[in-house]
Amino acid sequence: MKKTKLFSYVDKGTIIHKLSGLTKLICFLLLSFASMFTYDVRVLLILLAISLIISYIAKFPFRRYKIVFIYFLVFILFNFFLNFLLAPGYGEELFGTRHVIFVINDYFTLTWEQMFYQFAKLIKYLCIMPLGLMFFFTIDPSEFASSLNGIKVPYKACTVFALALRYFPDIQRDFTNINLAQQARGIDTSKKASLKQRIVSISKILLPLVFSTLDRVELISNAMELRGYGKAKSRTWYSYRHLVKRDHIAIAVCILIFVTVLFMRYFVVKDLFWNPFI
């Protein structure tokens, strides 16, 4: 049952959960853009600490999302391998120095500059990923739709986003139910089966899953059409929250962080990368 709740919204009553959906969206965008605008490791480490502190306050269940972090780690390792394979000397070009760790051949030479460049990319990814997961973890899908509409996104597109978020736990639950039904019929999808057998068995689950999803889509679209959805140019939102004092404080703090990062980037350091090798 834990897997069926992987992407579902759970209100834990923290100060982060109590913020308006519009506030969460604005703060998420500001902190994400702040992480994107710099490769300065010192600034990125501070932003990473801020994102981890926010995750701790929001009681983010890191154990539940362990599989997501595993996939993220695999992606990072693959990205690092490709960076070194295609451009092993890019770090030297960035920093203008060369400190060799060990030599493989004339082309592949591992340097501290290359390692530091890839470490900066790692910190950048680590800054954004917890923020993205926590944003979806702490916001109700309907509230997310109302927050998007609050920044002038068309309400039809907002409803699509809200329905997509609501579909994640439903699809996971259907997959689990179909998987258990297939196992009851003798189709083994457990870790005891070989990889080839598991792939074949899971492929037999996908077809019923697609049909059940299409049935649900048709049911919802018919219900929305019967209720006259989409005929008006605008709509109100039942889950919309008005901005209160804590929302204004959160937005002000994130704006301050964003402006500080831009100030450091363009007026203090003036370089995309901080160079510790000078």
Place of tokens 């018919």: 222
Which of 115, 143, 134 is CA-nearest to residue 12?
Answer: 134
Which of 151, 82, 27 is CA-nearest to residue 35?
Answer: 27
- Look up residue 273 and give its two tokens: 């990368």
pLDDT tens track for 134-185? 787 887 777 778 877 877 888 888 888 778 777 777 777 777 787 788 777 7
Q: Looking at residue 169, what is its pLDDT?
A: 73
**pLDDT for residue 1 is more than 50:** no
pLDDT tens track for 85-113? 888 888 888 888 888 888 887 778 888 88
Please, which residues have CB within 8 angstroms of residue 132's CB and are 6 or more apart in sequence?
A: 28, 32
Question: What are the sequence ranges of the domains in the chain?
Answer: 10-140+240-278, 141-238
Which of 52, 51, 30, 24 is CA-nearest to residue 247?
Answer: 24
| Integer Cα distance of 8 and 4 in angstroms | 8
Q: 165 vs 17, which has greater pLDDT?
A: 17
Count the Cβ atoms, other than its own, within 10 Å of residue 177: 15
**pLDDT for residue 3 is more than 60:** no
Q: Looking at residue 157, what is its pLDDT?
A: 83
Decide: helix, strand or coil at residue 20.
coil
- pLDDT, averaged across the chain: 81
pLDDT tens track for 32-82? 999 888 888 888 899 999 988 988 888 887 777 777 778 888 888 888 888
**pLDDT for residue 236 is more than 70:** yes
Most confident of 25-34, 188-197, 227-236: 25-34
Which of 8, 6, 114, 12 is CA-nearest to residue 68?
Answer: 6
| Bridge partner residues of 137 (DSSP) | none
Q: Looking at residue 5, what is its pLDDT?
A: 53
Longest dimension (CA), the chain: 70
**pLDDT for residue 202 is more than 80:** no
Q: 244 and 88 in contact (C-beta within 8 Å)?
A: no
Q: Return the ∠ at Cα 270 (arms to 87 and 98), rounded to 5°.
A: 35
Q: Looking at residue 6, what is its pLDDT?
A: 56
Q: How far is Cα of residue 29 from the mean position of the Cα atoms in its chain?
A: 12
What is the band of 253 on the pLDDT scale with cuts at 50, 70, 90? Answer: very high
The angle that helices 112-138 and 66-86 make with each other, rounded to 10 degrees, is 150
Cα 165 to Cα 13, 63, 219: the distances in Å are: 20, 21, 17
| CA contacts within 13 A on the Cβ side of 73 | 6
Which amino acid type is present at position 69?
A: F
| Integer Cα distance of 62 and 144 in angstroms | 22
| Integer Cα distance of 12 and 204 in angstroms | 37
Integer-rounded Cα Rg, in Å, for the chain is: 23
What is the band of 249 on the pLDDT scale with cuts at 50, 70, 90? Answer: very high
Decide: helix, strand or coil at residue 41.
helix
Please, which residues have CB within 8 angstroms of residue 124's CB and are 6 or more apart in sequence?
A: 35, 36, 39, 44
Q: Looking at residue 96, what is its pLDDT?
A: 80
